[in-house]
Structure 1
């Protein structure tokens, strides 16, 4: 082996050893990572015009209870748009009024549709276990917002097209269609 080839092999070996030592150390047990969801960093506040032709009603959160917020929007929102507006969260003015959302920045909702008096919310993953202690609030927000439209009388949740159990206000699980009445104690009057 020539001197240049030996030097090249030694340098390559040294670089390989250094690269192997630069990794993240292994652990014997899995570690739980806390989910952080800074609202402002993930989802910008929705753009809301003060002078729309239609009033949109969203159920957002203040002090752990749902509050109905009305916004003027240019056209009548369908189920998909209502859910998108919930995920976008409160406007800066609503935030200044202490309003938040348990859904802001959530990516577990695949779709929302409405037909025949019912809305269906398709989840790609569970909304439970989002790191929040108030897991019932996201479902309450969705159900109350969607059923605030006169043509939607009930809301169901599915995953891969099959109904799934979600929590009611009292924490009991159901696959049955839900209405805002199932969360009445969470709605600020």
Structure 2
């Protein structure tokens, strides 16, 4: 082997050994991985431990939408997922300052076969039930349901008819909504 090739081989070996830039450590340490932001589509990720499924719910923290993840034994259907959202935060989540704008709200969700747009039926509001946090309530529903791989958008109905609901910017929409429609309300995780 010529001197030039030998120097090139040694240099390549040294660069390869030091290239990753991660120093050696004596003991293991926890690593916090970033979560997928609310305003991007679902991506494939490492599977949770066997028997556990990540259930993403969008709750409210300081008047902003924020994701929280609960671990459940099996993936819920869309109605059960929505029911978990309407139930509101657990005691532990409340202790973290999380709340909901959906208390006592009755919702029904269906997804027509072969579709990726969920139809959410919003029951008639009771007398005096007007809310100042209505945009957050709709944002919670949209951001929670679109966190699922099988739902890309959410349309709202009342009595089977399209319902105009507020987007994050306050404008009304009667068509399908996505998490991006509420990006101005999505807070840091």
Whole-Å Cα distance in 1 between the matches of residues 77 and 147 of structure 2?
Answer: 12
2:56 maps to which residue?
Answer: 57
Whole-Å Cα distance in 2 between the matches of residues 114 and 70 of structure 1?
Answer: 23
Q: Where does 1:23-172 land on structure 2 (aligned, <5 Å)? A: 53-107=52-106, 109=107, 111-115=108-112, 116-126=115-125, 130-172=129-171
Whole-Å Cα distance in 2 between the matches of residues 175 and 148 of structure 1?
Answer: 21
Whole-Å Cα distance in 2 between the matches of residues 143 and 126 of structure 1?
Answer: 19
Whole-Å Cα distance in 2 between the matches of residues 52 and 87 of structure 1?
Answer: 24
2:22 maps to which residue?
Answer: none
3-state SS of paired residue (1:143): helix
For CA contacts below 8 A with separation 6 or more, give which structure has more relative contact order: 2
Does the Cα contact within 8 Å between 1:90 and 1:100 map onto a contact in 2? yes
Does the Cα contact within 8 Å between 1:86 and 1:104 map onto a contact in 2? no
The normalised TM-score by structure 2 is: 0.68
Once the two structures are superposed, residues 63-84 of structure 1 have per-residue CA deviations (whole angstroms, 9 ceiling, x without a partner) of 0001100000111112111111
Does the Cα contact within 8 Å between 2:164 and 2:172 map onto a contact in 1? yes
The RMSD of aligned alpha carbons is 2.0
Once the two structures are superposed, residues 62-105 of structure 1 have per-residue CA deviations (whole angstroms, 9 ceiling, x without a partner) of 10001100000111112111111111100000000110000122
Paired residues, number = 137
3-state SS of paired residue (1:171): coil
3-state SS of paired residue (1:90): coil
3-state SS of paired residue (2:180): helix
Q: Provide structure 2 residue ranges, at least 5 long, that are not aligned to the other structure.
A: 1-49
Report runs of 4+ in structure 1 exceeding 4 Å deviation.
Answer: none
Once the two structures are superposed, residues 124-158 of structure 1 have per-residue CA deviations (whole angstroms, 9 ceiling, x without a partner) of 2149x634322101100000000001121110001
